Amino acid sequence: MYNKEQSNLLQKTTERLLLHIKDSRYETNHLEALRDSLRFHEYRYYILNDPLISDYEYDQLYKALEKIETDNPSLITTDSPTQRVAKGLTKDFPAVQHLVPMLSLENSYNADDLTDWDRKARELTGFSEIEYCVEPKFDGASISLIYENDLLSRGATRGDGVQGDEITTNIKQIRSVPLSAKFSEFGIQQIEIRGEVLMTKKNFKKYNDSLAEQNLPPLANPRNAAAGTLRIKDPREVSRRNLEAFLYHVSYYTKVDSSQMTDDRKPKIKQSSVNSHLSTHSGSLEMLWQLGFRSPNKEKKVFKGINDVIKYCHAFEEERDNLPYEVDGMVIKVNDIALQDKMGMTSHHPRWAIAFKFKARQATSKLRTVEYQVGRTGAVTPVAKIDPVPIGGVTVSSISLHNADFIEEKDIRIGDTVLVERAGDVIPYIVKSLPDVRAGHEKKIHFPQRCPVCGYTLEKPEGEAVWRCNNSLKCEAQVVERIIHFTSKDAMDIRGLGDAIVRKFYELGILKDVPGIYQLPYEKIKGLEGFGEKSMNNMLQAIEHSKQQPLYRLIYALGIRYIGETTAKTLANAAEHLLDFKKYSLEQLQNLEDVGPKVAGSIYEFFSNKENIQMLEKLESLGLQLKNNKKEMAVDGNLSGQTFLFTGTLAKLKRSEAEAIAEKKGGKILGGVSSKLNYLVVGEDAGSKLEKAKKINTVKIISEDEFLKMTGE
């Protein structure tokens, strides 16, 4: 879309604009430059995935444009970058008719199916060999877009194929969909193009993680997430979910009637390329790519004959898990558009295209029973045990049911036939039960009232979806999980005492609690199979080394609910000795940086428990460091008294390295955005923390390079 000369010019324009913005010298005459610059950087970010400026710099450009347009509403255009996110809610989604019906595709599942389809195509056309275009079959939600006079005029869902729901406002929130495109340069006045809306695996995981933080069940797969998002009535929420769109098919177009125009209004048509781009399917993908759409132009391949098509389909299937988005097959199309027209369509599908489906990621199975697992914090999780079934190359027999509400909402019963999905690297998930095939012997699942491990009465805290066992010190399941957490890499980092070894030692009575790690009977362990002198020495060294871990690691290792690594550092910096927290009131705890009422209550409860205090005293007697070594803390660095938070993926440093630099210079790391935060350091794919920080005037948003300049690193 942009050649090297245009890119260089726009980048220089951007740099000048940012200088003007910094000095508050941007004016109305910068309007078009701001729009062009923002469109260019949206293209670099959303289409090429190769940004040239930081998110913060993009936001500065956007705010400048927004202010000029707010002050001069008569200058606003429908394709301005500010016109994507609409204000207010969408009232409804009226039905609209597609210009051309959106038909289904004929499916194939093996090489024989493709060979047979190729034979029919050759017989139908009279050709001995046909040229095919092959591209990924995206696993998302189908859409249809109409552009008129170079502007996006309508977006719609597939619906029943003849008509769909009009969702133009929500389509505008997808930044890989241009609000305007120079179709007129290809002689096109009106065009209908088809595509697929996706949520990438990365954004899907991020969204499900946000649901987990709210104790809500995750979404089944990126496809459902994308389809559901398109029908959300709040366009701002649609924008926040970061959907993407691939446009892959021109279904209809009309040519510009230049005879009705004066010479100065006639479009500059690239006449030499019109026929080449619109005479083949691969050419149309190239045209869409040139116009700034994210088409599968780079993924497509053109082959003569079916044999190479089959090889490419199998090769692509091998790589499907390495893609950033979900695909469920390949689409093979006759490349010549005139030949497509000759072959025609049935009432169900075009004869000139076929889908080659990859191995299923979904399957049905019988739910035989439900077991209940107890985690480190006492959370009780129901786990469905199903008849083993292969899905996407993995045999699945156990699936989390998350919580009691999830079971009730989906009406899942023992004996049900359930639809199971495993998408990419996402864990198996029960999409739904199939009540239509129930035989009458299925039983409702009754969540236990007592802990399945220790028999303690379960409790469900207000505002949570999870039932918990609060018998934390005597419930064997919690004890084992707590030991495993204590020895983990981010906690005390005791290598050689992993999950399986801890469980084995516990079952043998060798290890019964956390202090027991430092009292292991080595002579007895030596007699166990798999424990030679070398492995014993390595374990002993790791255990001894853990005694010198900094205090914040010990605090994190204790597994206090809601205490992550950042809050653990806050606590470590607040006291001379860990047991000082016995004397802290709830109010004193809430006065600490980044400690709210919920976290404060959890800390207070932990240090009010006599058995926890006895455990800490025991650990200190065994040589662990409970004191805060103030000598290791910077007290007069150039960042002294400043608070920092990092979000997104940093380009030059790991987040832990960046935090260590800030702390070495006297800065403090917070765990969340609040008025106590001084600097938010923003990397790639920054999320909700950035949005929240923008609303707090006192928080300074800086890039990784600006942070490194501050620290002198």
Distance CA 487, CA 557 (A): 7
DSSP 489-517: TTTT--TT--HHHHHHHHHTTS--SSGGG
For 365, counting Cβ atoms within 10 Å of its Cβ (0-12 exposed, 13-18 middle, 19+ buried), the class is buried
Name residues whose C-beta falls within 8 Å of residue 124's C-beta, 6 or more positions apart in sequence.
342, 343, 351
- Max distance between CA atoms of the chain, in angstroms, equals 97
As a whole number of Å, the CA-based R_g of the chain is: 30
Tokens 């389509």: give the residue.
Answer: 171
Q: Of 542, 603, 613, nearest to 568 (Cα)?
A: 603
Q: Of 260, 418, 289, 278, nearest to 341 (Cα)?
A: 278
- Long-range Cβ pairs for the range 497-504 (8 Å, 24+): 497/539, 497/542, 497/543
- Is the C-alpha dihedral spanning 656, 660, 661, 662 positive or negative? positive
So which residues are the catalytic ones? 137
Residue 143 dihedral angles phi and psi, to the nearest 5°: -135, 160
State the pairing for strand pair 668-669/643-647. Answer: parallel
The H-or-E segment that residue 566 falls in is helix 565-574
At residue 133, what is the residue type? C
Paired tokens of 137: 């079959």
H and E: helices and strands count for the chain: 25, 24
- The phi-psi region of residue 30 (left if phi > 0; otherwise alpha if psi is between -120 and 50; otherwise beta) is alpha
Distance CA 563, CA 572 (A): 12
Distance CA 590, CA 297 (A): 55
Distance CA 167, CA 159 (A): 11
Distance CA 300, CA 10 (A): 29
Distance CA 79, CA 36 (A): 11
CA 501 to centroid of chain Cα atoms: 33
**Alpha-carbon dihedral of residues 227, 232, 235, 237, nearest 10 degrees?**
-90
State the pairing for strand pair 380-391/362-374. Answer: antiparallel
